[in-house]
Structure 1
Amino acid sequence: MMKFNIKPLDRSLQPAVREKIDNLTKPKGSLGRLEELAEKIALILHTLSPILKHPHNVLFAADHGILEEGVSVSPKEVTWQQLSHFSKGGAGINFLCEQHGFKLVLVDAGVDYDIPKGHGIIDMKVRKGTRNFLHEPAMTKEELELCIERGASVVKEIHRTTGCNIISFGEMGSGNTSPSAVWMHLFTGIELEKCIGAGAGLDTPGIRHKYEVLSKAVANYSGGEDPESKIAWFGGYEMAMAMGAMMQAAELGMIILVDGFIMTSVILAATQFYPQILDYAIFGHQGDESGHKRMLDAMGARAILHLDLRLGEGSGAVCAYPIVESAVRMINRMDSFQSVNVTKYF
């Protein structure tokens, strides 16, 4: 599989960062999570005066063979219809990107539809949807490798042409909470039933059916014990592409804003190869999908927001951006006690 040079954070600057934050005109620790975020951002960008540059949200779309088993209320055609909708500017992620200054990049990773050219959608289609992992691997290892390479190439080009240093990732793929739940189960050891939720809106019998299908799929697994085999067997093209994109972003020293349940499962999968990728991750929100908090807890992660979102698309990550921006403004704009001759009052 494609290799990445993801280095653990250089923490040599940490004492100076903490000293700067602690000497701003406020009681020590009084700005809470903003102080934690400012420290992490300063370490990722390795500077006492971090600047966020040209934020992007890359949305990967693909279809899933497991949808044949009735594990989602969303029909398959919704994937290409929504991807087309994104390109026209009227969806949820569009207004959020517009509001917070994100450039939205759309990528067809494996949609089961011939997307017409001229809509601003990058064609990186590997295949028209994955295979049904109840019966066979969703993708081959060669397809997984291709996804990783293509996802990485998208980030590399964004970084090269714009200087972007903070990036989020979204997804569109009917049924993709199913592969996400299986990845969560396999890579955390949490019981599968606790990893499965309503997705786009399943009722209680629907959730039970989803559990039964995924349980059988896991029981049918006959691949290797290595993470690459498990990711290929149960994954989605958009998920694998996002994984390659995240790993490339970490190699380039970019801040990764992680979205909801599906993108959290993607970075969880990436930690199977590069645990240090979490050094570059800021988790935007804790979603409403059952299991998301458990997965965050398993990685020792804490999200900025909890707004009961379950839209996907990168919406939670982009929604959290103003908080990240506030942390950066704090470390750059607040006066120190020394600079304004205020006595420390803590």
Structure 2
Amino acid sequence: MISVRPLDRSLEATYRALVDGKAKPLGSLGRIEDLAVRLALIEGRPNPRCERVLLLVFAGDHGLNEAGVSAFPSSVTTAMVATLLAGRASANAFARSVGAEVKVVDAGVAADLAPHPLLIEAKVRKGSRNAELGPALTSGEVELALARGAAIARQAIEEQGFEVLAVGEMGIGNSASAALLLHRLAPAPLDDCIGAGAGHDAEGMARKVAVLARAAARSAAVEPMDVLAQFGGLEIVMMAGAILGAGAAGRPVIVDGFIASTAALAAIRLEPAVADYCVFAHRSCEKGHALALAAAGAAPLLDLSMRLGEGTGALLAAPLMRAAAALLTDVASLDDVLAGRL
């Protein structure tokens, strides 16, 4: 399993004193002050770096789509991957607006994708199996997806010099997989975990609820690796691996919405220390996300009634990360202001 070093909190009081001593009323920047302290703890120094941000969009398809859990066919996953690679998706627009970079990871798209400079080929298989009928993944596939996700994260940080990773996803049907994962990992009642995903009418929602109830009844799995095998999607599992990889490399990772938060919860269940490296970007309006956040012990930075995915919410949180770091690195101390040392 991927090992993550727990934060050394021996300097927490020192970093808090630095923040408290800035030229501002005590506590006047609220949770940004808390974030600044956490970033310093993650990096182990009082001048954390959060300039270079990479969004990794993990893409995969789901065998559950055979049972009609989504309002859209799996072919939309491939089409949206092409849109992301062309720079025309919402995530691309948001990334340009905040000065972040975007790469797409083929974790398990059910199609052969042409090589592209922004595409990371990491496919484990062409989509997961239908979790209504049997395990979605084998234990070996789960281990491979976790390992590949961790390797991608570590390469981005250690070889390419990114200082912050953000994670998002693209996969038609992945809200169904995430609902099943949350049901077991939180744990929480299944009905409370199932939302509309990309959109459903009443008939579609009834079908989705029925399919997921049958899938949940098929397996009593509760251990994280077994839960991922029974109900996981490859983009979710690989995203969990990337979160673990970022933590292992000692860098913060911004977690997007419902799907990404479920991946983060899986990572936390596998390695609790990684929770300290996760910055949860926003509270999605997708049903179940509040449960996922609570289970992860997370307080998101934003609440904008978003539910798109793709890492869009994570990108909007990136400027807050930079601002928190700048509080420590760029703001004068009150002592310097009073002494005229500017």
Common topology (TM > 0.5): yes
User: Contact between 2:50 and 2:321, CA under 8 Å: does it hold in 1?
Assistant: no
CA positional deviation for 1:164: 1.6
SS of corresponding position for 2:123: coil
- Between stretches 67-76 and 174-183, larger displacement belongs to 67-76
Q: What is the SS of the residue equivalent to 1:104?
A: strand
| Partner residue, 1:38 | 36
1:155 aligns with 2:132: no
Q: Distance in 2 between matches of 1:80 and 1:341?
A: 59
Counterpart CA distance in 2 for 1:154 and 1:119 is 15
| 3-state SS of paired residue (1:12) | helix
Q: Helix, strand or coil for the counterpart of 1:316?
A: helix
Question: Which of 228, 231, 234 lines up with 1:231 in the alignment?
Answer: 228
The number of residue pairs the alignment matches comes to 340
Q: Which residue of 1 aligns with 2:124?
A: 126
Contact 1:247–1:270 under 8 Å retained in 2: yes
Q: Which residue does the alignment assign to 2:12?
A: 14
Give me the whole-angstrom Cα distance separating, in 2, the residues matched to 1:341 and 1:119: 52
Measure the CA separation in 1 of the matches of 2:222 and 2:324.
41
For 2:136, which of 133, 138, 160 is the aligned residue? 138
The separation in 2 between residues aligned to 1:317 and 1:198, in whole angstroms, is 21
Given that residues 151 and 245 in structure 1 are in contact (C-alpha distance below 8 angstroms), is that contact kept between their aligned partners in structure 2? yes
SS at match of 1:162: coil
Unaligned runs of 5+ in 1: none
Structure 2 partner of 1:64: 62
* Pairing 1:245–2:242 present: yes
| Structure 2 runs not aligned, ≥5 long | none
Name the structure 2 match of 1:48.
46
- Is residue 166 of structure 1 aligned with residue 164 of structure 2? yes
The equivalent residue for 2:211 is 213
Q: How far off is 1:170 after superposition?
A: 1.1
- Give, as a single letter, the amino acid of the residue that structure 2 aligns with 1:290: K
| Equivalent pair of 1:79/1:173 in contact (CA under 8 Å) | yes
Q: Does 1:299 align with 2:314?
A: no
> Which of 307, 310, 313 is the equivalent residue of 1:313?
310
Question: After the TM superposition, which of the residue ranges 199-208 and 37-46 deviates more from structure 2?
Answer: 199-208
RMSD over aligned CA atoms reads: 1.5
TM-score, normalisation: structure 2:
0.96
The answer on whether the counterparts of 1:165 and 1:253 sit within 8 Å (CA) in structure 2 is no
Q: 1:276 aligns with which of 270, 273, 277?
A: 273
Q: Which runs of 4+ in 1 moved over 3 A?
A: none
Classify the secondary structure of the residue corresponding to 1:163. coil
Q: 1:193 to 1:225 in 2, by over 3 A?
A: closer
Partner of residue 193, structure 1: 191
Cα deviation 1:128-159 (Å, max 9, x = unaligned): 11110000111111111111111112112212
Give the Cα–Cα distance (whole angstroms) in 2 for the partners of residues 79 and 143 of structure 1. 20
> When the two structures are superposed, what TM-score results if normalisation uses the length of structure 1?
0.95
> Shift of the alpha carbon at 1:226?
2.5
Is 1:285 matched up with 2:282?
yes
